[in-house]
A and B are shown apart, each in its own frame.
Chain A
Amino acid sequence: MVVHKLSDTEVDRIFQALADATRRDIVSRTLTREQSVSALAQHYAMSFAAVQKHVAVLERAMLITKERRGREQIVYGNVESLRRAAHLLGAFEKIWHDRAIRIGELLADPQNGEEQ
């Protein structure tokens, strides 16, 4: 798989988009099946306009795609973008995970044992 390298702006947008609980919830719901914005709005104690704003933020971050069908705006999750975001998040912990493994190996090495 060729991994598209995200620009800094794209990365910032993804992180900002996922930093909000409502937006994460919208992504979860639209990942499994497409939904209209009005159907989504029924899940949240906020105005339709507020939900539309969250949808717009997610759309700019390319985490979801929105298209108009008749009078309805249909939203669905963009799996590929989500996979890239998860990839970046995983990178944070991979560094320390690998370091801890190497420390463990070093501690188990008798050459660096108790005499020091």
Chain B
Amino acid sequence: MTVVSSHNDVENLTLIFTAEFDTNVDRVWQVWEDPRQLERWWGPPTWPATFDRLELRPGGDARYYMTGPEGQKAHGWWKVLAIDVSKRLEFDDGFAGEDGEPLDLDDTTRCVVTFEEDGGLTRMTSVTTFTSVEQLERMSEMGMIEGMTLALGQIDGILAESTVTY
């Protein structure tokens, strides 16, 4: 896996992330389509995800939870907005209550993932748009972000153009 680029758009609270995988596009699509494979990467190792439902079709729903180190559960849901197999997946991702159902249908993170195959390599780009910085804070509490370190040197780059490139 190679990270091709990563861009933070501060003003629009958007992250554009591109990674390249050394395999064909149908194989990369499988890690989204198959819930058992999706569970192996959606959550961090300390908060693994379990998908009870995964309906990859327009209007389809997903229900999942992430289990923390002390057995605590953080529930989430998706609503699929658009899908083009092996090309594009667009969904809203939100927080759910203990019953697994959405807490607030408007409080979501929009996620648009596109896939492109080129010369045996597959490029996957995810565009994630947050509605508020508060969402990020809560994700941090859910344990999605762990061991975060950032070199002080990157601050200059952020200030210069709100862009961090690896």
Binding site for B on A (CB under 8 A): 6, 8, 11-12, 15, 18-19, 24, 27-28, 31, 82-83, 85-107, 112, 114, 116
Contact = CB atoms under 8 A, between A and B. Distances in A.
Contacts of B30: 112, 116
Contact of B11 (A6, A19, A31): A19
A18 B154 CA distance: 15
Given A100-B3, A107-B31, A92 B159 contact: no
Interface in B1-39: 1, 3, 6, 8, 10-11, 13, 15, 17, 19, 21-23, 27-28, 30-31, 34, 37
A89 B34 contact: no
Interface residues on B, range: 35 or more
Given A27-B159, A82-B159, A107 B133 contact: no
Given A18-B159, A27-B159, A86 B17 contact: no
Contacts of A6: 137
Interface stretch (B57-65, B71-79, B94-102, B142-150): B142-150
A27 B155 CA distance: 11
Query: Which 5 residue pairs are nearest across A and B when measured between Cβ atoms?
Result: A104-B1, A102-B41, A100-B19, A96-B17, A90-B150
A15 B124 contact: no
Given A24-B162, A86-B150, A100 B124 contact: yes
A55 to B, nearest CB: 15
Contacts of A99: 41-42
Given A18-B10, A103-B41, A93 B159 contact: no
Contacts of B86: none
Contact of B164 (A90, A102, A103, A105): A90
A68 B15 CA distance: 39
